[in-house]
Amino acid sequence: MIRYTIENAINQRCLMKRRFVAAALTAAIVMGLELRAWGQNVTPESLGSSDLIMTGAGEDRRATGIGFFVEVPSQRFKGQSFVYLVTARHVLLDGTGKPLGQMSFVIGRGKGGAAVSSTLPPAEQWFYDPHDRYADLAALPFSPKGVEFTTVPIKSVLEGSGAENLGADAYYVALLSDAADSAPVMTVHFGRVSVADPVAGSVPGAGSQRLCFLEGLSAPQLSGSPVYIRGADRIWLWGLIEAKSSMEAAQGGGASGMIGVLPAEKIAETVKAMAAAQDRRRTGAGL
């Protein structure tokens, strides 16, 4: 398993002139996206830490959302860390709130570039925010084998968002292609922070949530996607996408063109609690 961290942020602008040429080949599309990401100061690791959560099998398989990896160092075992797959909880549920079956995580960076599908447990076997049982967040200890992936280190997870982030440049991982017979193709979309302090919002399948908001267009498969903002000294994980969410205070379509974002502090408090519990179990077992 090869893991990299988001700390290797690109801090210089690409001076090469970029031209976007329409092409039929997916490889050409991906190459163009990589050049754009470089020019926009997007870390290459952002794409490598995110892939598709799917349900079903064969031709009936469909994307339900996006998941990404967060890494937390052990506090008791030097040099070791825990890796968690994070997404929005409603991604794991059907329209009635029941756990979806035949869940899988599809990564397009296996041997030879082939897609690799790993089985995921149903929603009831994931872990939720220990301090807010209604938070639309789910995490799972998960390190797939035989693939390359990157992780977001916990020190790059922004624990608290306020007015200082209003108008900040942001980007989020999106899905370019999810054909059932090929590897998923991920890209990035750009915008700015529109609402930096969490406000009352509503998420289909998850109910009332405290959300920030970002400029952008939403689609159901975006739920769970990581959102990053550029700080003074690094790129921060700001939260995760809540697709099709709305702002409760908005009237007459006032939130049009904005996407809800579950604040990253929810992610941090959940994976930190999980890591602490795993440390305790390993200590108790004498490992």
High-pLDDT (> 70) share of the chain, %: 73
**152: CATH:** 2.40.10.10
Residue 12 lies in a domain: no
Residue 13 lies in a domain: no
Residue 6 lies in a domain: no
% helix, strand, coil for the chain, step of 5: 20, 40, 40
Whether 229 and 169 have beta carbons less than 8 Å apart is answered as: yes
Residue 215 lies in a domain: yes
Domain residues for 202? 26-284
Phi, psi dihedrals of residue 177, rounded to the nearest 5°? -150, 135
Longest dimension (CA), the chain: 60
Whether 34 and 26 have beta carbons less than 8 Å apart is answered as: no
Phi, psi dihedrals of residue 194, rounded to the nearest 5°? -100, -40
Phi, psi dihedrals of residue 24, rounded to the nearest 5°? -85, -25
Residue 66 lies in a domain: yes
Please determine, for residue 61, whether its predicted confidence score (pLDDT) is greater than 80: yes
Residue 85's pLDDT is 97
Q: What is the pTM of this model?
A: 0.80
> What pLDDT, in 10s, does the model give residues 141-192?
998 887 888 899 999 999 877 788 999 999 998 876 555 555 667 778 888 9
Residue 193 lies in a domain: yes
Name the amino acid, one letter, at 90: H
* Number of domains the chain is built from: 1
Residue 20 lies in a domain: no
Give the C-alpha separation, 64 to 204, whole Å.
Answer: 13
Residue 41's pLDDT is 62
pLDDT bracket for residue 256 (50, 70, 90): low
Residue 18 lies in a domain: no
Please determine, for residue 11, whether its predicted confidence score (pLDDT) is greater than 60: no
